[in-house]
């Protein structure tokens, strides 16, 4: 993963420079782009942070950039910068996944607060992705029989029922169950269910 940054996409050079100075003063790492297409050329799936994006720009608009990023699977939080008449567009953008918008002229502190929240959101998403990857890694260490028994465990089946259904001894089920819990790194059935659901819901 790359270092978290605020990506400013703004065609007005004066506004872009002002934003960059403000954000750097607040300690953020900043990358700025004069148009949507130049950001797309620089975009990669491992970017993290947030985007401050002008909704109206020559060429590809902020909305069109957002739709393209969504189609590429980007989860970078987007804060749109809008003019007075762009609120309906901003609402549509939020329905497509933008996290917030700010109207011009905005107060610096208002924008900074929205950026702070967006950066926190992205950090949480990154943590969740790492957790899902670790759970999947653990699941991949299970044997086919262990995975089969794990599925029956999270469906709420008792050892005796699993033994009957699989035509094996209850003691064998207990051994497999113990190995499942050990490999998954938990002693709690509730925690095991949460882990499996987390991975399933992201599939």
3 CB-near residues (< 8 Å, 6+ apart): 29
Structure token pair of residue 145? 């029989």
DSSP summary character for residue 28: -
- Say what the pLDDT of residue 201 is: 78
Task: Provide the domain limits for residue 153.
Answer: 141-202
Query: Measured between alpha carbons, how far is 49 from 6 in angstroms, rounded to an integer?
Result: 6
- Looking at the chain, the whole-number percentage of residues with pLDDT higher than 90 is 74
Are both 89 and 189 inside the same structural domain? no
In this prediction, residues 57-75 reach a mean pLDDT of 92
CATH number at residue 64: 3.40.50.2300
CB atoms near residue 158 (< 10 Å): 12
**Is the residue at 163 inside a domain?**
yes
Q: Of 87, 104, 128, at which residue does a domain stop?
A: 128
- Say what the pLDDT of residue 203 is: 56
Are both 88 and 161 inside the same structural domain? no
Tell me the pLDDT tens digit for each residue of 131-167. Answer: 999 999 999 999 999 999 999 999 999 999 999 999 9
Are both 124 and 162 inside the same structural domain? no
Question: Does the pLDDT value for residue 82 go beyond 90?
Answer: no
Over the chain, what is the mean pLDDT? 91
Tell me the pLDDT tens digit for each residue of 84-119. Answer: 677 777 788 888 888 899 888 889 999 999 999 999
**Is the residue at 133 inside a domain?**
no
Q: Of 99, 128, 157, at which residue does a domain stop?
A: 128
Residue linked to tokens 């990023």: 69
Are both 34 and 89 inside the same structural domain? yes
In this prediction, residues 50-56 reach a mean pLDDT of 93
pTM over the 0.85 mark: no
Are both 25 and 113 inside the same structural domain? yes
């Amino acid at each position: 993963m790359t270092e978290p940054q605020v990506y400013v996409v703004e065609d007005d050079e004066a506004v872009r420079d002002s934003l960059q100075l403000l954000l750097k003063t607040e300690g953020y790492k900043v990358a700025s782009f004069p148009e949507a297409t130049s950001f797309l050329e620089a975009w990669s799936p491992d970017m993290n942070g947030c985007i401050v994006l002008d909704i109206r720009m020559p060429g590809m608009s902020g909305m069109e950039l957002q739709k393209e990023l969504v189609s590429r699977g980007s989860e970078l939080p987007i804060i749109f910068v809008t003019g007075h008449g762009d609120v309906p567009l901003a609402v549509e953008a939020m329905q497509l996944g933008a996290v917030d918008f700010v109207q011009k002229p905005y107060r610096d502190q208002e924008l900074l607060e929205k950026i702070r929240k967006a950066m926190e959101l992205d950090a949480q998403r990154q943590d969740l992705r790492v957790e899902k990857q670790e759970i999947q890694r653990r699941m991949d260490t299970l044997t086919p029989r262990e995975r089969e028994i794990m599925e029956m465990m999270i469906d709420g089946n008792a050892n005796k029922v699993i033994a009957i259904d699989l035509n094996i001894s209850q003691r064998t089920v207990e051994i497999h169950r113990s190995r499942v819990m050990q490999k998954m790194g938990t002693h709690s059935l509730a925690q095991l269910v949460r882990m499996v659901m987390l991975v399933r819901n992201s599939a």
